[in-house]
Chains A and B, each alone.
Chain A
Amino acid sequence: MDPNLIIQLALATLDSVFQIISHIKSQGTLTTDEIAAIADKQDLANLDAIKALIQQ
């Protein structure tokens, strides 16, 4: 496997884990409406990233 890909995947994995840990913490302290607002923003960001991916 390409060493660059291994590094990229390791970084992506770490990033994902940290994001999820942060996500867990935030869900416990936020109101439901605040969580809904965060999910709204995340979905929009996801759609933008997916569109870019499709056009890549």
Chain B
Amino acid sequence: MRTKRLRAVALALGLALALSGCPKDPYRAAIQGSDDVAQAVSAAIPFIAQYYSAGKLNDQEKAQAAGYLQSVTQANQTFRHAVVAAHNSGVKGNASYVALAQAFVNSVPTDPRAFNYKSTDAQKQFNTVLGAVKASLDAIVVLIQNGKVA
């Protein structure tokens, strides 16, 4: 049953990416991708709090997961501001936005699915919820590449 719930979250996140994946231009694609990342982080935070409160994450594991989300969020802010600045300066076409997205992805190279937790339950849960954050991050480049130039 828990697996079904996890799949529901993963599916919903996947749907969010897929259904929002028809942007009109690379600027919109980049901003939508950034918003997807923010939403995925928001969805992951309660799981860390609840697992920690329940004693299923120790201090170090909590700090590692929270630190990952913090890095992603700060990089997401930097990415989005760069995208808006590029748009405001008249940048068009996919190449510049793809480069910004790739820099964003490269700035957070950590794969959270490689984190090791003492609890097998936590391991499954966080492979899913932090994996969804990683998936939303990696999806931005594809979203922009599939965007049509206005």
Contacts and interface: CB of A to CB of B under 8 A. Distances in A.
Interface string A17-41: 1011101100110001001101110
B113 to A, nearest CB: 18
Interface in A1-56: 1-2, 4-6, 8-10, 12-13, 15-17, 19-21, 23-24, 27-28, 32, 35-36, 38-40, 42-43, 45-47, 49-51, 53-54, 56
A56 B45 contact: no
A1 B62 contact: no
Interface of A is mostly: helix
B41 A46 contact: yes
Interface of B: 2, 5-6, 8-9, 12-13, 15-16, 19-20, 27-28, 31-32, 34-36, 38-39, 41-43, 45-52, 54, 56, 62-63, 66-67, 69-70, 73-74, 76-77, 80, 84, 121, 125
